[in-house]
């Protein structure tokens, strides 16, 4: 993808409210799984399986999360590679790890 290309945005099957409800139902149904140490990869695996019929090994989520965190760390130190808009580092505060939240997190703040 070139510098000026925008990735295609895929519309999700759920709204945020529906995802919140789904996650809460999962937690209430099986808190010993989804509320445990493996809760994050377990909820991601369940979501992909139920909503998209994709089966991914639980261990893969740990590797994906590590790769994503490493990428974000590199982008903090290599701003020339950072093309994020929503979660980009504020350039005037380069040495801080502050990010811009998604707009729906600030619904009440105007």
User: Concatenated DSSP letters for 38-100?
Assistant: THHHHHHHHHHHHHH-----HHHHHHHHHHHHHHHHHHHH-GGG---STTPBPGGGTTS--BP
pLDDT tens readout for residues 8-48: 555 455 677 888 899 999 999 999 999 998 888 899 999 99
pLDDT tens readout for residues 46-93: 999 998 899 999 889 888 988 988 998 898 888 888 887 766 555 555
Model pTM score: 0.57
pLDDT of residue 13: 56
pLDDT of residue 96: 53
- Integer Rg of the chain from CA: 17
């Amino acid at each position: 993808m070139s510098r000026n290309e925008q990735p295609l945005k895929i519309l999700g099957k759920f709204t945020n409210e529906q995802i919140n409800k789904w996650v809460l139902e999962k937690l209430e149904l099986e808190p010993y799984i989804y509320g445990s140490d493996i809760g994050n990869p377990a909820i991601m695996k369940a979501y992909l399986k139920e909503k998209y019929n994709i089966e991914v090994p639980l261990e893969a989520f740990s590797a994906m999360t590590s790769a994503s965190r490493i990428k974000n760390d590199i982008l903090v130190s290599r701003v020339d590679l950072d093309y994020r808009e929503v979660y980009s580092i504020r350039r005037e505060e380069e040495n801080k790890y502050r990010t811009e939240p998604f707009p729906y997190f600030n619904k009440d703040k105007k």
